Amino acid sequence: MALVFPFPVLSSLIVLPLLAAAALFFIKGDGLVRKFTLAASLLEIVLALPLTAFRMGADFQFVERLSWVPQWGLQYYLAVDGISILMVWLTLATLPLCVLCSWTGIAKRTKEFHFCLLVMTSACIGVFTAMDLVLFYVFWEAMLIPMYLLIAVWGGDQRRYASIKFFLYTLAGSTLLLVAIVAFRIEGGTFSIPELMQRTFGFRFQILCFLAMALAFAIKVPMFPFHTWLPAAHVQAPAAGSVILAAILLKMGTYGFLRFCLPLTPAASEYFAPMMIVVSVASILYGGAVALGQSDIKKLVAYSSVGHMGFVTLGIFLFNQRGVEGALFQMLNHGVVTGGLFMMIGAVYERSHSREIKKILGLGKYMPAFMFFWGLFSLASFGFPATNGFVGEILVFVGAFQHSLLVGLLLVPGALLSTAYMFRVGLKLAWGQPSAAKEWSDLSPREWLFLVVPAVMVFYIGLAPSLFFQMITPSVDKLLADYDQRRVAVLDHVPANALAGLAGAVAPATKN
């Protein structure tokens, strides 16, 4: 049975950032704006404390359901389960860290900058909690504008190109997603995601809807070859923008695969799984290989995200428990580790005003505390044992070898590449020869504060992941059981020759 909490917890988490964003226009002084936003972000975490009562089960919990537009069947419908709860907590934790890491780096339009951070947080929480397709789409689109502004207004020299590319790519994918949403309403008779998960759709319908949704989600992840907007956006975005982009926005794509593609189009997911696995492996290898040759430290971490998110999409389309659990862990771990790395790059940029590795050689001689955190996040990034990255990566490896020996073996060079590029930059920062004497100070108390939080999570998840397993395993089990049942129910009604090629895949099939 779904857990219904007497207090609208999820609505409060969506509304509070919007109220705080509106209140900013009545506050004067950049310092007060920063303090107010930080206070609002901490209050947001306090309001989320009831989520700690999340029961270890597969049902949707903290359900809020009201009729929105009854004539169209629209509902204000919110809930969380084991697939979304970790993403909600990750979003809540990211906001105060973004405020802290941009405390001194944003000197112009400070009020508008923090307005964008708050609106972005509200939209992201809405995406991970919406249980109505239209409501989901509203939040999905809502996050596009503040992210565009973060890049276009507070970005680097090529911010206009990067922001427009980000906007056009994601808008194109969103249009296809909207087409799929309308199709589900016509075919399924409802916008309710839990109700649609109980429907069984015909094979031809699933194929078309999967293609529309998968392209939208692949752009958001982003998967190779739809990744080209990501390095440009990361490099030009301010530090806080890169943190939100890496920690939260990329997860919306993989969350979409888990929430929509597998439950609503299981037969099509099975049909296209080989293609998705190939593209995922290509993302892992391509992202690692390109990252290895980068001279811009921010672009290096951006390309590493392409590889790391490839592990996530691979785990999802292995359709086994270890693979999907590994994907969920990697979604969380990538947010923690890569978010930490981008915050550190922002701290270095404030001192050096450069992202070129050759201009920050030997940084460790002046900033030993910085190098400690960089080394820790680097180890977690390539999955060193006892770090959080190891938990997710080893699960995906196990799932890959359970699926196919070939797929498992193809992951090995991907893991080696991630080790190579992180070691390469780490060695240059720690023992490289500076071109001239520097006057860089080590980490300030504020920087210690926003780096200690992800560092603690690196060790906590790496050494004691049992709590996270308890939260996600029941939902993963239910997801895979429902997927298998509905996949078989549809494919049993599809003629064998219809599965021989893509032309046969779009032939009419019986709808149960």
Domain ranges of the chain: 9-494
The reported pTM is 0.89
* Best mean pLDDT range from 57-66, 123-132, 184-193, 424-433: 123-132
pLDDT at 496: 55
Mean pLDDT rounded to a whole number for the chain: 87
DSSP 189: S
For residue 229, CA distances in Å to 233, 338, 365, 410, 499 come to: 6, 17, 35, 26, 34
Read off the pLDDT band of 28 (50, 70, 90). confident
Confidence class of residue 5 from pLDDT cuts 50, 70 and 90? low
Contacts with 393 (C-beta within 8 Å, 6 or more apart), sequence order? 311, 326, 330, 383, 415
pLDDT digits (tens, 9 = 90+) for 439-472: 788 888 999 998 999 999 999 999 989 888 888 9
Could you report the per-residue pLDDT of 176-198, keeping only the tens digit for each? 999 999 999 998 888 899 999 88
> Could you tell me if residue 438 is left (phi over 0), alpha (psi between -120 and 50 degrees) or otherwise beta?
beta
**Mean pLDDT of all residues in 268-293:** 91
Cα distances (Å, whole numbers) of residue 285 to 33, 222, 272, 394, 421: 43, 14, 20, 17, 12
Between 85-101 and 321-352, two packed helices, what is the crossing angle to 10 degrees? 10
Backbone angles phi, psi at 509, to 5 degrees: -135, 155
- Taking the C-alpha atoms of residue 316 and residue 312, their distance in angstroms, rounded to an integer, is 6
Q: Is the pLDDT of residue 245 over 60?
A: yes
Q: What pLDDT score does 350 carry?
A: 84
Residue 508 has pLDDT above 50, yes or no: no
Give pLDDT, residue 512.
35
- CA dist 442 → 103, 296, 340 (Å): 17, 22, 16
Rounded to the nearest angstrom, the gap between the alpha carbon of residue 471 and the centroid of all alpha carbons in its chain is 18
Q: Which amino acid is at 259?
A: R
List, for residues 322-377, the tens digit of each pLDDT value.
999 999 999 999 999 999 999 999 888 888 888 888 888 888 888 889 999 999 99
Helix/strand/coil (H, E, C) string of 116-149? HHHHHHHHHHHHHHECEHHHHHHHHHHCHHHHHH
pLDDT band (50, 70, 90) for residue 2: low
Supply the pLDDT for residue 458: 93
> Distances from the Cα of 350 to the Cαs of 234, 343, 353, 433, in angstroms?
16, 11, 6, 20
Place of tokens 């951070």: 117
Pick the more confident residue, 20 or 509. Answer: 20
